[in-house]
Amino acid sequence: MSAAGRPSLRAERYVTETEAREAAGGRAAQLQHTGLRHGWTTGACATAATTAAYTALLTGEFPDPVTITLPKGQTPAFALAAEELGDGGRWAMAAVVKDAGDDPDVTHGALIRATVRLLPPGSGVVFRAGPGVGTVTRPGLPLAVGEPAVNPVPRQMMRDHVAEVAARYGAPGDVEIEVSVDHGEEIARSTWNPRLGILGGISILGTTGIVVPYSCSAWIDSIRRGVDVARAAGRTHVAGCTGATSEKVAVAVHGLPEDALLDMGDFAGAVLKYIRRHPVDRLTIAGGFAKLSKLAAGHLDLHSARSQVNKEFLAELARRGGAGDALAAAVASANTGLEALHLCAADGVRLGDLVAATARDEALAVLRGAPVTVDVICIDRAGTIVGRAEGRGPRDR
């Protein structure tokens, strides 16, 4: 049956333990302070659609709304915008409208569909790119060439939910999941996908399932509040992190408490300039290799719309690390920063450490002699540390 004409409802807003209490500081309080409404990633929407479709395939009924569990334990519920059970119950399709909250996301309002088909026992979970979802055509991404552009964390979320539904109804859990996005190829023209060699549509993304909304003024104000709260609590060491994964790494490396964590996002300059006026003894900057390569190149706004990874700059850093002409040329023509990192690693050139050290020195330059020791941690998409720069202060330069 089809419910394509049914008005779609937004996913119910989850309430976390952190939001329920008055957070003293740290990332949770910082997010609250923006006053902006969170949204849901394409990965969360695809997981919800997959869960509903697979449940219908096994039971004949679509759960609506459908509840999923996100990587950090939140349990949002999503209304279905469309549903269909076809071919005598051999496949099922469910769709969810993406709600990006107050974030100016190009995929806001997109219809994310998942069509689930049963496979022979032992087949596992297989992903397919439907209309509007891209296919990887170049190396350097966290997916192999030829794979649908459904990123690793959303894939794992879908696998986990398929396994949960299969266990509930005594099924083997061997399915094909075809993810599609209405008008996805058109939407993708407003993204970096075509330049990255992801062709045919958008990517299904997300590491937490939640879209954190960015208003520049609100976010920068929240960073300042985070520094103030940390200082008031007597914290002498804070970490500015580009996202949840790098935050987790900073905590693991330095054992920092919640109120010492700043969700820097793309606003490295906002953290550095405010700490320049309101110093702490130590600042850790943690983030993805590609983003921190932008800081190393002198960019203080790390957003993809306002700064890009400079492969020529990475090639020059590689030369400083001992790369020959052939490797430097390969780095300069790499598809992504991640590919450049892998090329250097294969040749024994520690590009991650070079980026971290250069980013640290750029940060110290912005701090203009403020009594702050800075160290930098670069990670890959999986949260593995790929570059470190030990702490250095103004007297060490």
User: Rounded CA gap, 80 and 84, in Å?
Assistant: 11
pLDDT at 16: 39
pLDDT at 28: 58
First to last CA, the chain: 68
pLDDT at 390: 95
Report strand pairing: 198-199 vs 77-78. Answer: unpaired
User: Rounded CA gap, 224 and 175, in Å?
Assistant: 48
Q: Which residues contact 140 (CB under 8 A, 6 or more apart)?
A: 196, 334, 335, 336, 338, 339, 340, 342
Cβ atoms of 372 and 282 within 8 Å: the answer is yes
Q: The domain at 38-211 falls in which architecture?
A: 2-Layer Sandwich (3.30)
User: Rounded CA gap, 392 and 372, in Å?
Assistant: 8
Phi, then psi, of 339 in degrees rounded to 5: -65, -40
Cβ atoms of 200 and 140 within 8 Å: the answer is no
CA 316 vs CA 75, 95, 229, 336, 344: distances in Å: 46, 47, 40, 16, 12
Q: Please state the pTM of the whole predicted model.
A: 0.62
Token pair for 340: 């450049």
Token pair for 40: 């849901």
Reported in sequence order, the residue ranges of 105-224 that DSSP labels E, i.e. its strands, are: 111-118, 125-129, 132-133, 135-136, 175-181, 198-199, 201-202, 210-211
Q: What is the CA radius of gyration of the chain?
A: 22
Residue type, 98: K
Residue-level pLDDT, tens digit, the chain, 397 residues: 333 333 333 344 333 333 333 344 555 565 666 667 788 999 999 999 999 999 999 999 999 999 999 998 999 999 999 999 988 888 999 999 999 876 767 888 999 999 999 999 999 999 999 999 999 988 777 889 999 999 999 999 999 999 999 999 999 999 999 999 999 999 999 887 887 789 999 999 888 887 766 656 667 777 887 888 788 889 999 999 998 899 999 999 999 998 899 988 888 999 999 999 999 999 999 999 999 999 999 998 877 666 688 999 999 999 999 999 999 999 999 988 989 999 999 999 999 999 999 999 999 999 999 999 999 999 998 899 999 999 999 877 5
- The DSSP bridge partners found for residue 204 are 150
pLDDT at 66: 97
Quickly tell me which residue has 């004409």 as its tokens.
5
Cβ atoms of 309 and 337 within 8 Å: the answer is yes
Phi, then psi, of 151 in degrees rounded to 5: -65, 165
User: Rounded CA gap, 339 and 170, in Å?
Assistant: 42
Contacts of 248-256 with C-beta under 8 Å, sequence gap 24+, read: 248/383, 249/286, 249/377, 249/379, 249/383, 249/385, 250/284, 250/286, 250/377, 253/284, 253/377, 253/385, 254/284, 256/284
The length of the chain in residues reads 397
Q: What are the boundaries of each domain within the chain?
A: 38-211, 216-396
Give, in degrees to the nearest 5, the angle at Cα 355 between 350 and 358: 125
